[in-house]
Structure formats: C-alpha cells, structure tokens
C-alpha cells in the first residue's frame, strides 16, 4: 500500500505540472483528492489492514494529501497570475477615441423663476412659509372673507374632496394660517406652492399651477409700501427700466384691491404682440388686507394693517422666456427643458 501511495503521489505531481489552466488544475484536484478519487478509496481500504499498521498508514495518507494540496495551491496562484498577465498583454486601449459626452442637469425654468422671486424677497427680510395643498374650505375661502355662497367663489372653480376639504385654489390660505398662528405679531412672508383649479387644460390654463403669495402685516403698513415693493420686484424680474401701473380690481380678501401691470419689456410701451398693443402686461393681483380677514385671524384692524399679493410664476416664466404653452412646464420634454441652461455661475 505504501508503494501504491508513493506512485499515486508521483502521478498527481506530474498531472499538476502538466496543467496549464486553472480549470485543468481543478479537474486534477477533483480527480485525485475528491470523494471518488483514489485517496478516498485507499482510506476506505484501510479497514482491511492489521490494526497496528493503520495509524502509520493513516498518517502517511494525510501527509501525502497535505503536500499535494500545498503544491496544487502554489500552481493555482502561478496560473492565475499568468492568466492576468496574458490578459493585460492582449488588451489594448485606444486613448485617441473621443469620450462619451456627460449630460449636465439644470434647474427647471419654473424653479428658476420661483427661486429668483424667493431670493428677492429673502433679501428684503421676508421669510418663506408653506401650507397644505389639501386644505380646509375654512382657510381657502371663509377666513379670506369668502363665506359659503359668496359669488366670488366661482372665480376659482374648485376640486372638492369632501364638503369641507378641497385642493387649495390659491396660496392665500397660507396667509390666513400664518396670521392665526402668529397671534397678533408682525408678519413678513412669501408662500410659494402648487394650487389647483377645475380648468380645462389649454395653452394658458392648467388644472395645477404655481403661485407665490406675499403678506406683510404690522403697524403703519400702507398702500405705498405695497407699491414700492412691487415696483422693485418688477424691475428685478423684467429690467430696471420697467414701470408699474396699479389698476383697481376686486378680491374679497383685500380692500382696496389692485392688479399690477408692467410696461412692456419687449416694445417699451409703444405696443407689440406681447402686450397686445396696449404697452402694458398684467402680472399679479394685490391689495390691502381686508379688515374682516385681519379680525378673523385675531388682529385688531384699528391697530395693524397689511398688504398682500399673489402671482403666477408660470405666467412670469412664459413672459420672460417667450414660452407659448403653459403645458411645456409639466411635460418634461428634454428638448424644452434643456433650453434653459444656466449661463450665469
């Protein structure tokens, strides 16, 4: 048996040397050291040996198995290194090939306009306030001086969820909520956010769009403060030469109410297609906070006053960038969006 073992060892060593790939080597390992290999057979046959020879033979078999395993491992490392070496030698990289262009993302045009307006107001000491899009009828209408059955509710066709809950039709409920929460303290906020109206979508209408609301409440807040603020905003958004004009209007939550126009940035006022030959472009609605609204929120209208305004960033972006269809803002067509790459740093 000893003879047999040594012969076996010689055989395996030769096979190992002859293996030229890791796969071949693995086949040798399975063939000789595996469960069905000759070493296992020999171990099984040991039962037939006289008892005093068994430990010696057992030790010899183990010794041979260990040295074979060791040599197998050494050969494996060598073959693996050779394989890597060969792969490296056979591979070549053409460093003159042009690289793949990396697409850069950028801000959505609507986001840019909202951020520009936010930055302007933050620079004047305003804070940003937010409110829920699913809103109580109370904050969307009643607290804004629009009791149930008020005809002006029809100005804003609403998506009702229950009788008392709806998708907010404007950002003005954030005014009412903020006033209620501030409990008589002065306020200077803008509220950007999504609003919803039951409109059929077309080039200038969308059932969901964006608004930015502004609200200032405190002692001695006057119409002239509102006018000065809006004048600065118009110049910031549409150029230092812009003039503004306030026209009387109606909103139930402001008194007096106005609509603000800016002098046309395209023709400068002489009349063109952008301003529909009037020289003026309507931008937003505003007014002095109605005493009823102040009172409902716990302010004394004899002591404090306020102004509020609301604008649509879509409309501003459409004017600024000459976008003709509001739906472009929502359909995420990369050909549209990629036209608004930031040029400034």
What dihedral angle (degrees, nearest 10) is formed by the CA atoms of 315, 257, 176, 131? 0
Residue 193 engages ligand PHE in binding (rule: CB under 6 A): no
306 is a site residue for ligand PHE (CB under 6 A): no
Q: How far is the CB of 241 from ligand PHE (least distance, A)?
A: 26
The DSSP result for 287-308, as a single string, is: EEEPHHHHHHTT--TTT-EEEE
Q: Which is nearer to ligand PHE, 42 or 308 (CB)?
A: 308
Partnered with residue 213 across adjacent β-strands are 191, 310
- 252 is an interface residue for ligand PHE by CB under 6 A: no
Kindly identify the residues of this chain, within the stretch 213-232, that bind ligand PHE according to CB under 6 A: 213
Helix (H, G, I), strand (E, B) or coil at 213: strand
Of 243 and 259, which CB lies nearer to ligand PHE in the complex structure?
259
- Told to check if 290 binds ligand PHE by CB under 6 A, we report no
- Give one DSSP letter per residue of 55-111, joined into a string: HHHHHHHHHHHHHHHHHHHHHHHHHHHHHHHHHHHH----TTSPPPPPPPP---HHH
- Residue 170 in contact with ligand PHE, rule: CB under 6 A: yes
CB of 119 to ligand PHE, least distance (A): 20
192 touches ligand PHE (CB under 6 A)? no
Distance CA 304, CA 188 (A): 13
Q: Which stretch binds ligand PHE (CB under 6 A): 80-88, 100-108, 118-126, 283-291?
A: 283-291
User: Does residue 145 interact with ligand PHE by CB under 6 A?
Assistant: no
Q: Residue with CB nearest ligand PHE?
A: 310
Q: Applying CB under 6 A, does 309 fall inside the site for ligand PHE?
A: yes
How many residues of this chain bind ligand PHE (CB under 6 A)? 11
293: number of Cβ within 10 Å: 25
Locate 103 and state its tokens.
């697409």
Sheet holding 187-196, edge to edge: 127-128, 187-196, 208-218, 305-311, 280-289, 254-263, 244-251
Measured from the Cβ of residue 177, the count of other Cβ atoms closer than 10 Å reads 21
Cα angle for residues 239, 244, 247 (degrees, 5° grid): 155
Binding mask 15-34 for ligand PHE (x = CB under 6 A): --------------------
Nearer to ligand PHE by Cβ, of 109 and 310: the residue is 310
Largest CA distance in the chain: 121
Q: Are 326 and 204 in contact (CB under 8 A)?
A: yes
Least distance in Å: CB of 338 to ligand PHE?
A: 31
* Region 100-129 residues binding ligand PHE, contact defined as CB under 6 A: none
Residue 131 in the binding site for ligand PHE (CB under 6 A):
no
Q: Choose among 170, 304, 287, 315: nearest CA to 230.
A: 287
Binding segment for ligand PHE among 48-56, 229-237, 269-277, 284-292 (CB under 6 A)?
284-292
Question: Which residue lies nearer to ligand PHE by CB, 135 or 213?
Answer: 213
The distance of closest approach from Cβ of residue 195 to ligand PHE in the complex, given in angstroms and rounded to an integer, is 7
Closer to ligand PHE at the Cβ: 1 or 155?
A: 155
For ligand PHE, the closer of residues 32 and 309 by Cβ is 309
Query: What are the counts of helices (DSSP H) followed by strands (DSSP E) for the chain?
Result: 11, 9
User: Residue 176, interface with ligand PHE (CB under 6 A)?
Assistant: no
Positions that interact with ligand PHE (CB under 6 A): 170, 172, 213, 251, 254, 285-287, 308-310
């Amino acid at each position: 048996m000893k003879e047999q073992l040594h012969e076996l060892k010689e055989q395996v060593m030769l096979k190992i040397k002859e293996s030229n790939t890791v796969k071949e080597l693995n086949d040798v390992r399975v063939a000789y050291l595996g469960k069905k290999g000759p070493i296992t057979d020999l171990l099984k046959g040991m039962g037939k040996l006289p008892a005093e020879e068994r430990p010696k033979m057992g030790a010899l078999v183990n010794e041979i198995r260990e040295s074979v395993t060791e040599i197998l491992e050494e050969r494996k490392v060598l073959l693996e290194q050779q394989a890597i070496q060969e792969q490296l030698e056979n591979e070549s990289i053409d460093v003159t090939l042009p690289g793949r262009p990396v697409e850069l993302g950028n801000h959505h045009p609507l986001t840019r306009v909202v951020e520009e307006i936010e930055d302007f107001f933050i620079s004047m000491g305003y804070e940003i306030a937010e409110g829920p899009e699913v809103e109580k009828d109370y904050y969307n209408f009643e607290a804004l001086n629009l009791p149930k059955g008020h005809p002006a509710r029809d100005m804003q066709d609403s998506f009702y969820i229950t009788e008392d809950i709806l998708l907010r039709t404007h950002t003005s409920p954030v005014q009412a909520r903020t006033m209620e929460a501030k409990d008589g303290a002065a306020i200077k906020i803008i509220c950007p956010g999504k609003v919803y109206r039951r409109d059929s979508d077309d080039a200038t209408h969308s059932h969901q769009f964006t608004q930015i609301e502004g609200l200032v409440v405190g002692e001695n807040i006057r119409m002239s403060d509102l006018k000065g603020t809006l004048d600065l905003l118009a110049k910031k958004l549409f150029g230092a030469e812009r003039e503004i004009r306030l026209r009387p209007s109606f909103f139930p939550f402001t008194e007096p109410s106005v609509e603000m126009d800016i002098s046309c940035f395209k023709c400068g006022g002489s009349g063109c297609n952008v301003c529909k030959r009037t020289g003026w472009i309507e931008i937003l609605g505003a007014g002095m906070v109605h005493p009823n609204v102040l009172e409902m929120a716990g302010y004394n209208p004899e002591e404090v006053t306020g102004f509020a305004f609301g604008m649509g960033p879509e409309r501003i972006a459409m004017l600024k960038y000459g976008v003709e269809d509001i739906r472009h803002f929502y359909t995420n067509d990369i050909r549209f969006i990629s036209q608004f790459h930031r040029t400034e740093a």
